[in-house]
Structure formats: C-alpha cells, structure tokens
C-alpha cells in the first residue's frame, strides 16, 4: 500500500516555520556529515507531526542549505522527486533542485539525505496580478514539460494511487466501507457521480498535485519558485487540478477585492505558454473534487495518524463548503477559460 505523505501545512494559510536546536541524538547521527562544520549552526524544522528522531528537515547556515533526512523506504520517492525537479530546471521552469540528484547515505546510520539551496523568500506574501501572471507562466511551462515526460515508475505509482482512491470512492458510495468521518464529510464523499469524479482523469498527465501557498515561494524580486514535488511522483491527473488548486488557495481563500482580475491575469499567464483544455463547469467540479479526493486519501490513512486527520478533515470540509458558497462567482470565472 502507498505511504501517503502528511502535508506540512495543516492550515490553509501556511504558518511561520519554526526551527529548533538539535538534541544530542540528532547531533550524534549527523556527526559524520562533512558538510556540517559546526552542529550548532544546524537547526531542525519543528514538525506538525509527532517528531521521529533525526528524520525531518534541517536548515544549515553555512553553507546556506536546506537538508532533508529520510529513511531508506523513501529513497525511491526522493530520487524521483530530485530527477523531476532537475529536469524541470533544465527546461526553464523556476524550481529549486537538489544539489546532488541521488540521495546520499549517512555513514553509521540507516538514514539518507538530500540538500537544497535554502531560498530566502517573502513569508505570507500577498501575490499581486503580476506575480500571479508569472506563476501562471511557470505552471504552464511545468505542465508542458511534464506532459512529455516519460517515467514508468512515476506512472506506475500514480496509477496505483488513483486506483486506491477510486476504489475507496466506489466502496463508500455503495456503503461497502464504514469510515468514521463526520456527517458533513460523508455527505461530501457521497455527493458525486462517477462521471463527475472522472473529470479528474480528463487529459491526465503528471502534474504537481499540491500547489498550496507553502509550495510556491516568492523571492526578493517577487518571482515565484515552485517547490516540494513529492506528490508529483505519484499524481497523474487533469492539469486543471493544479490550476484550480492555485485559484482556490491564492485567490478564492483571500480577502482580495479584485479576485476576478487576479484569476484573469493568472490564466493569461498560463495561456501565454499552454492551452487550457476544459469544458464549461469543469472548474467548479474540480474545485469540489480537491476536497473529495483529499477526504478519500484521509480515509486510507492508518489509525495512528488520527492526530492530524481530524484537522485535515475540518480543513477540507471548510474548503468544500466555501466552494459551494462561491458558486456564482466561480461560474463567472468559467468565461475566462
């Protein structure tokens, strides 16, 4: 069974990243890494999950790196992610590839690591029309490359994940699976036909799959950089999923007054590179399916993940209801496609 990744941002708006000094176990485990000259200059990111010793993300001040420490079981995922990001960078997409494509083993420990340049960026940055136009261009360049990118491992992982999610969707709608979700979540899970659900599969290709506000950073020159491609290694869906995700998180879930013009500039930026293939009504459906698909994935999590599942359920219930509330405005956005 696939190991679904717990998202870093449990809230819709990303919280300030907190870093803490290393404890002695972590210092000992990382002591063999030659790139660390002084362990006191290394900080570990405070995780939203119960922390596992050593595994996690670290910030190194000199050199200015972000370092991911992970277990052997995650080598394939990290290697595939590193390969994708490097190829995207080579093809002109604004990304932040690992300094070495192949994950490196930590001597004396059954742990591995990848390093990235630590990007100094604006936190809680409110994207402007110009920013969203540029982001639209970068996502279109990413989609164009990924539409031609052939990788059997990624496609196999993605199709396996799609099948697990679809099978759970069928089980729930036929009342063959009893899951302990609240009434609101169960109503959402049973509110879609197979035809609507399959909107996710139109023009399917490898996509990013998780373009939340924490996975796009704006540098000091305001230009966007797309990061965190772990979901990309197992996501084969309609490119409209990525587009809808950005519209939802960067525009609909804000208090901006000029939302229509922001969406227009974002889509204009995208269309300057690549055509958008969608039918009228698809945007509203996919915006709802973002929540539906997330709830289906959460229903596949093991019981020990309950501590964060409840928070995620609450978030996606809210996003679904807010999409319904904004239906009239979303329908006006269909004219832009």
What stretch of H or E contains 52? none
Its CATH architecture, for the domain 19-118, is: 2-Layer Sandwich (3.30)
- What is the rounded CA–CA span in Å between residue 280 and residue 88? 31
Distance of CA 67 to the CA centre of its chain: 18
- What is the rounded CA–CA span in Å between residue 248 and residue 333? 12
Q: Which of 288, 286, 270 is nearest to 278 (CA)?
A: 286
Mean pLDDT of 143-155: 94
Fold matches, 19-118 and 123-336: no
Residue 207 scores a pLDDT above 60:
yes
Confidence (pLDDT) at 226? 97
Phi and psi for 105 in degrees, rounded to 5? -85, 140
224 with 192: CB under 8 angstroms?
Answer: no
Confidence (pLDDT) at 53? 78
**Position of tokens 């394939």?**
76
Residue 50 scores a pLDDT above 50:
no
Distance of CA 90 to the CA centre of its chain: 21
Residue 106 is given by DSSP the state P
pLDDT tens for each residue of 105-140: 998 888 999 999 988 776 656 788 999 999 999 999
Mean pLDDT of 204-233: 92
C-alpha distances (whole Å) from 186 to each of 295, 309, 322, 326 are: 9, 15, 17, 21
Of the CA atoms within 13 Å of residue 249, those in its CB half-sphere come to 24
Mean pLDDT of 249-258: 88
- What is the rounded CA–CA span in Å between residue 276 and residue 239? 8
Domain ranges of the chain: 19-118, 123-336
pLDDT tens for each residue of 259-270: 999 999 999 999
Confidence (pLDDT) at 123? 61
- What is the rounded CA–CA span in Å between residue 292 and residue 190? 9
Phi and psi for 299 in degrees, rounded to 5? -70, -15
Q: Which of 167, 147, 119, 155 is nearest to 242 (CA)?
A: 147
DSSP-H helix ranges across 58-217? 75-90, 129-148, 152-173, 183-189, 194-197
What stretch of H or E contains 226? strand 224-226
Residue 314 is given by DSSP the state H
pLDDT tier at 307, thresholds 50, 70, 90 = low
4 with 78: CB under 8 angstroms?
Answer: no
Are β-strands 42-45 and 19-21 bridged in parallel, bridged antiparallel, or unpaired?
Answer: antiparallel
pLDDT tier at 296, thresholds 50, 70, 90 = very high
Confidence (pLDDT) at 49? 55
Q: Please state the pTM of the whole predicted model.
A: 0.90
Mean pLDDT of 275-281: 93
Mean pLDDT is lowest, of 226-235, 246-255, 297-306, for 297-306
Determine what percent of the chain is predicted with pLDDT higher than 70: 91
Residue 2 scores a pLDDT above 60:
no
Its CATH architecture, for the domain 123-336, is: Alpha-Beta Complex (3.90)
Mean pLDDT of 289-306: 86
Confidence (pLDDT) at 13? 65
Residue 251 scores a pLDDT above 60:
yes
- Name the burial class of residue 328, with classes exposed (0-12), middle (13-18) and buried (19+) by CB atoms within 10 angstroms of its CB: exposed
Residue 305 is given by DSSP the state G
Q: What is the mean pLDDT of the chain?
A: 88
Confidence (pLDDT) at 222? 79
Residue 240 scores a pLDDT above 70:
yes
Determine what percent of the chain is predicted with pLDDT higher than 90: 60
């Amino acid at each position: 069974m696939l190991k679904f990744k717990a998202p870093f941002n449990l809230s819709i708006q990303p919280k300030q990243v907190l870093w803490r000094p290393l404890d002695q176990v972590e210092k000992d485990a990382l002591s063999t890494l030659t790139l660390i000259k002084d362990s006191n200059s290394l900080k570990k990111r405070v995780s939203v999950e119960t922390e596992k010793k050593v595994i996690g993300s670290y910030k190194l001040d000199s050199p200015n790196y972000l370092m991911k420490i992970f277990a052997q079981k995650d080598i394939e995922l990290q290697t595939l992610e590193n390969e994708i990001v490097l190829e995207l960078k080579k093809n002109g997409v604004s990304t932040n590839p690992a300094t070495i494509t192949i994950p490196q083993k930590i001597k004396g420990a059954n742990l591995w690591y990848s390093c990235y340049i630590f990007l100094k960026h604006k936190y809680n940055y409110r994207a402007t029309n110009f920013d969203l136009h540029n982001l639209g261009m970068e996502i279109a360049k990413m989609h164009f490359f990924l539409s031609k990118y052939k990788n059997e491992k990624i496609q196999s992982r993605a199709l396996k994940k799609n099948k697990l999610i679809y099978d759970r969707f069928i089980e729930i709608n036929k009342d063959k699976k009893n899951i302990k979700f609240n009434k609101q979540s169960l109503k959402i899970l049973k509110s879609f036909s197979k035809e609507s659900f399959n909107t996710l599969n139109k023009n399917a290709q490898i996509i990013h799959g998780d373009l939340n506000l924490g996975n796009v950073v704006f540098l000091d020159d305001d230009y966007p950089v797309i990061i965190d491609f772990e979901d990309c290694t197992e996501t084969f869906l309609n490119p409209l999923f990525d587009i809808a995700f950005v519209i939802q998180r960067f525009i609909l879930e804000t208090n901006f007054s000029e939302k229509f013009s922001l969406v227009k500039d974002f889509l204009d930026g995208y269309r300057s590179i690549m055509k958008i293939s969608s039918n009228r009504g698809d945007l509203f459906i996919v915006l709802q399916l973002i929540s539906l698909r997330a709830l289906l994935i959460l229903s596949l999590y093991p019981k020990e993940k309950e501590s964060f599942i409840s928070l995620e359920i609450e978030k996606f219930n809210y996003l679904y209801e807010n999409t319904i509330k904004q239906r009239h405005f979303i329908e006006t956005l269909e004219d832009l496609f």
